[in-house]
Structure formats: C-alpha cells, structure tokens
Amino acid sequence: SKEVATAIRGAIILAKLSIVPVRRGYWGNKIGKPHTVPCKVTGRCGSVLVRLIPAPRGTGIVSAPVPKKLLMMAGIDDCYTSARGCTATLGNFAKATFD
C-alpha cells in the first residue's frame, strides 16, 4: 500500500508539470468571458490536418467526437473545426487537435 501512495503522488506531480495553457478569445464584441479560439489555428500530425475556426457565442463545438472532447476539456465553448486526412487514426487526430 505504501508504493501505491508514492505512485499516485508522483503522477499528480507529473500532471501538474505537464499542464499547457490554452489561449481563448472572442468572436465579435468582447462582452463576458473569452469563449472561443482567438484566431484560425491549424494543427498537423501524420496525414491529419485539423483547423480550428472561431465561432459566435452559443454555437457550441461543431466537430467530430475526438476533438470535441479535447476542446471541452480545454475550456473552449464555441468553435468550428475542419479536418483532412485519415481521421480514423484517433491518436493522430487527437495530437493534431492538441497541436
């Protein structure tokens, strides 16, 4: 039981060190909290190319399930996405969204 507690403590430290800040912005007027990506951004991994496009407030995340989960965890409320390549490769799809 002593080793499990040490492993959990180490995992928590590693998780805190690997936090990545996510810039958020506005679409249109700057009322309220930032809710979307600040500008059009592109990420690529393997053959997969993902483009994130700012969206108006209330749109939601218009995307496939994989990037949708990542963007929700990042705190982005509204975003359009466009994906090219072999998006069936879920690892590359997730890495391209993260990129």
Nearest by Cα to 37 from 28, 45, 25: 25
Within a domain: residue 40? yes
The pLDDT-based confidence of 91 (bands split at 50, 70, 90) is very high
Residues contacting residue 19 through CB under 8 Å, at least 6 positions apart: none
Within a domain: residue 16? no
Tokens at residue 86, please?
A: 């072999």
Mean of the pLDDT values across residues 52-57?
96
Task: Say whether pLDDT at 49 is over 60.
Answer: yes
Within a domain: residue 11? no
Q: How many domains does the chain have?
A: 1
The pLDDT-based confidence of 62 (bands split at 50, 70, 90) is very high
Q: What residues make up the domain containing 66?
A: 22-98
Looking at every residue in the chain, the average pLDDT score rounds to 94
Looking at residue 1, its pLDDT comes to 55
Looking at residue 4, its pLDDT comes to 93
CA 11 from chain center: how many Å? 21
Looking at residue 58, its pLDDT comes to 93
Question: Quick check: 81 and 51 in contact, CB under 8 A?
Answer: yes
The pLDDT-based confidence of 28 (bands split at 50, 70, 90) is confident
Mean of the pLDDT values across residues 34-44?
95
Within a domain: residue 49? yes
